[in-house]
Chains A and B, each alone.
Chain A
């Protein structure tokens, strides 16, 4: 059945301004962009990855100057999805043959392009919310220390913005639906092979600059030109967006001026970010590496002293807790031994260098690194135990006798799951046989026989073993004591495995 309309109803809609129409169209395009399947999938993968990573990484003790950079990689996936979707949306009229039809509508094509660009801004803002949530969650952890950089946090959203606007520009330049996918392939190729392990200035031309090491440094020693890089990315994004508007016919003075400004932004940011480390930064890194005491604060706690870089002050209580538990298992003077815990870094090569530290030779001085949580806890515990047994860090790394049994008992004996801690502190995650034991400086070596004795001890009641350790402390910490002798003193069966150290 049909209805005959005898007299048209007069519409109550009155035209608004072009700017308001662009805003309305931007809302329309934003809703469509954010409900495209590739974008939804990309955001879901991004959020899923973020939640999963958040639950496993940093072990609850994040350094915020690392966390900010960790927000940058995943948004690239969203960026590529936005690039594809915006490209297709901008080609919509051409793909579906509505160009001639829509050419007689009031809003000109260049203003429609502006609306597409604004929809990309919305996707970038949504990414910024995700980045802020990711960073905020880490910052709110009780063990968080350090300072994040707003410029580093901007990289993720700016990458999405840049990708989307490049997709829009490609739609204006190459009026084929193949342009978007080909651009994505080009981006992937550039990401995989364009940066490589390069540590030169050219790597800063990429949107996301990944550091080759997981070194954690004080935030003032990072030397990453994050603000200049953000300016560079913003300039690139603006260039792409404004060129897309120009390509769509928006040859207005304000657009031309905008392109000039965007090119200037890109050049300023691009040149400044390639400037390298300043002499002041190089001096500061040298000082922090060679004479950290000059820039550290020393905090006394339970008789020991903790010398830390300013941002790590909140960690002293965690370290003191480990020192206290290790000492509680020791005998002789070691039970009351005061130690100096010195936080140390190798900052001279920035984030791209090897962070290896040499052991300290000063008596009862222990190195602690800049990362904490997870494996770093038993590693520090092993270093404290080594100093209590051998007297100093250098000597502890040279132990090649049955004292390792006592060192490792002190290191893991206080843990709620000492075998798990033993696995975590050994390089090969083993709990049997010989292995290298990790600590903040050089490692220590456990023979097969020493491991056997230790495992026997870990199967016995802690109080019983502690009592034996204390009563035989002098002999157990005597150089040249064998694993078999240690076993006899501690009341466990003699080991059958090899008891030879590495050469």
Chain B
């Protein structure tokens, strides 16, 4: 299967900081989750793949085009949907106008077809009823959906979503999961998030980054399996655990290297993630 994104040796420095360090990856259809602590290089990687930033070294293709050339970059941008971490909005635009504006900037020039498309994506993100409303009058969740609609307009083959559920309440986050799952049908979605539940529920693949490097690439099940036999329950916090916290039952859930005879419990994807980041300053308070 031809990968949507194929990258090798991507590196990028900001001053003395190595934001990306020899990153190689392959993305195919469906939703791929990108996990990592703050400063891991997730947003930098997304911006490079979305052609917003050039890499210092390395090469990559998106949908068969090389963004290193002007022509290739234009071709990638034609098929790209991008939802940045903190999307800006033009508050006096209506939701329809905003998505229409983005559609024009994606060079959709047939007015009637474009307007059909804008209506379609606004329907898809559940904003059909408020498409004539000015963005400044929409809630935070609705604005985020407008941004997703703008990313989806034109049926992009590669969708880059940078922490789209940050700041949303649980109901809105559920709704966004539905939308992202729908968006992942038939296209490649790269989803950066701090929410391991999102990855567990949405993604068929997961990447874990830390220090500008990819620390793990595989399925969520494989990431979860990394914690098999390394999560246990105890009445007191185990001092040998890498992380441990009191659960609702009053017992402590410990992650790390269990002592002999420990009461092992079923690991989660989050446990696998924590263990993957071992040594990269992950703290979980008791």
Q: Are A106 and B124 in contact (CB under 8 A)?
A: no
Inter-chain contacts of A107 with B (CB < 8 A): 104-107
B203 in the interface, Cβ–Cβ < 8 Å? no
Rounded to whole Å, the gap between the CB of B64 and the closest CB of chain A is 16
Interchain CB contact under 8 A, B84 and A101: yes
A417 contacts chain B at the CB level, 8 A cutoff: no
A250 to chain B, nearest CB (A): 14
Interface membership of chain B positions 108-141, coded 1 if the CB is closer than 8 angstroms to chain A and 0 otherwise: 1111011011001000101000000000000000
Tell me if B113 and A12 are in contact (CB < 8 A): yes
B205 on the A face (CB < 8 A): no
B77 near A104 with CB under 8 A, answer yes
Contacts of B109 in A (CB 8 A): 15-17, 20-21, 23-24
Given A6-B185, A8-B185, A12-B117: A104 touches B154 (CB 8 Å cut-off): no
For chain B, the bracket of interface size reads 35 or more
Q: Is A92 an interface residue (CB 8 A)?
A: yes
Interface residues of B in 59-93 (CB under 8 A from A): 74, 77-78, 80, 82, 84, 86-91
Contact A2 B175 (CB under 8 A): yes
List residues of B (165-203) whose CB comes within 8 Å of A's CBs. 174-175, 178-179, 181-183, 185-187
Residues of A150-200 at the interface with B, using a CB-CB cut-off of 8 Å, are none
Whether A279 is near chain B, meaning CB under 8 Å from some CB there, is: no
Q: Is B103 an interface residue when CB atoms closer than 8 A count as contact?
A: yes
> Contacts A4-B178, A92-B90 given: A24-B80 contact, CB under 8 Å?
no
Q: Is the CB of B87 within 8 A of A98?
A: yes
A112 at the interface (CB under 8 A from B): yes
Contact in complex: B90, A96 (CB < 8 Å): yes
Residue on B with the closest CB to A23? B109
B265 in the interface, Cβ–Cβ < 8 Å?
no
B100 at interface, CB cutoff 8 A:
yes
* A18 to B108 alpha-carbon distance, docked (Å): 9
A11-B88 in contact (CB<8A): no
Q: What residues on B are CB-neighbors of A92 within 8 Å?
A: 90
Q: Which residues on B sit within 8 Å (CB–CB) of A254?
A: none
B155 within 8 A of A: yes
CB distance from A145 to the nearest CB of B (A): 47
Q: Are A11 and B82 in contact (CB under 8 A)?
A: no
Q: Determine whether the beta carbon of B88 is less than 8 Å from that of A8.
A: no
B77 touches A105 (CB 8 A): yes
Task: Name which residue of chain A comes closest to B128, CB basis.
Answer: A3
A500 CA / B54 CA spacing, docked (Å): 95
Q: Give, as a whole number of angstroms, the nearest-CB distance from B96 to chain A.
A: 12
Contact of B186 among A7, A13, A96, A99 (CB under 8 A): A7
Look across to chain B and name the residue whose beta carbon is closest to the beta carbon of A18.
Answer: B107
Taking CB atoms, residues of chain B closer than 8 Å to A3 are: 126
Q: Is A9 an interface residue (CB 8 A)?
A: yes
**A328 at the binding interface (Cβ < 8 Å):** no
Q: How many chain A residues have a CB neighbour from B under 8 Å?
A: 39
Q: A106, B106: Cβ atoms under 8 Å? A: yes
Contact partner of B126 (CB less than 8 A), chosen from A2, A18, A20, is A2
Contact: B178 with A8, CB < 8 Å?
no
Nearest neighbor of A89 in chain B, beta-carbon distance: B90
Q: A463 on the interface (CB 8 Å rule)? A: no
Report A117 CB to chain B, min CB distance, Å. 16
Please pick, from A8, A10, A97, A106, the residue contacting B107 in the complex, using a CB distance under 8 A.
A106
User: Which residues of chain B have C-beta atoms less than 8 A from A8's C-beta?
Assistant: 124, 152, 155, 182-183, 185-187
Instruction: Check A10 against B111 for contact (C-beta < 8 Å).
Output: no
CB of B82 within 8 A of CB of A101, answer yes
Q: How far is the CA of A100 from the CA of B50 in the complex (A)?
A: 11
Q: For the complex, give the distance between the alpha carbons of A12 and B108 in Å.
A: 10
Cβ of A25 < 8 Å from any Cβ of B?
A: yes
Query: Please, which residues of chain A bring their CB within 8 A of the CB of B117?
Result: 11-13
A11 pairs with B90, CB closer than 8 A: no
Contact A12 B116 (CB under 8 A): yes
Q: B120: which of A11, A16, A17 is its contact (CB, 8 Å)?
A: A11
A5 interface residue per 8 A CB criterion: yes
Q: How far, in whole Å, are A4 and B123 apart by their CA atoms in the complex?
A: 11
- Quick check: A98 and B89 within 8 Å, CB to CB? yes
A87 to chain B, nearest CB (A): 15
A201 is an interface residue with CB less than 8 A from chain B: no
Q: In the complex, how many angstroms separate the beta carbon of B51 from the nearest chain A beta carbon?
A: 5
- Indicate if the CB atoms of B52 and A104 lie closer than 8 Å: yes
Distance in angstroms from A251 CB to nearest chain B CB is 13
Q: Verify B101–A28 contact, CB threshold 8 A.
A: yes
Task: State how many angstroms separate the Cβ of B40 from the closest Cβ of chain A.
Answer: 19
Chain B residue at smallest Cβ distance from A108: B74
Cβ contact within 8 Å between A13 and B89: no
List of B residues within 8 angstroms of A101 by Cβ: 82, 84, 87-88
Given that A11-B117, A11-B155, A28-B100 are contacting pairs, would A93 and B88 also be in contact in the complex, using a CB cutoff of 8 Å? yes
B107 to chain A, nearest CB (A): 4
Which of A7, A14, A93: most chain B CB closer than 10 A?
A14
Q: Bound state CA distance, A98 and B92, in angstroms?
A: 14
B155 CB → nearest A CB, Å: 4
Counting CB contacts under 8 A, is B228 at the interface?
Answer: no
Query: Can you name 5 A-B pairs with beta carbons within 8 Å?
Result: A5-B183, A12-B116, A13-B117, A15-B78, A15-B109
Closest 7 CB pairs of A and B: A16-B109, A97-B88, A5-B182, A11-B155, A98-B88, A105-B105, A20-B109
| Besides A7-B182, A97-B88, 12 other A-B contacts (C-beta < 8 A) | A15-B106, A15-B109, A16-B110, A20-B107, A20-B109, A24-B104, A24-B114, A96-B88, A97-B86, A99-B88, A100-B84, A101-B82
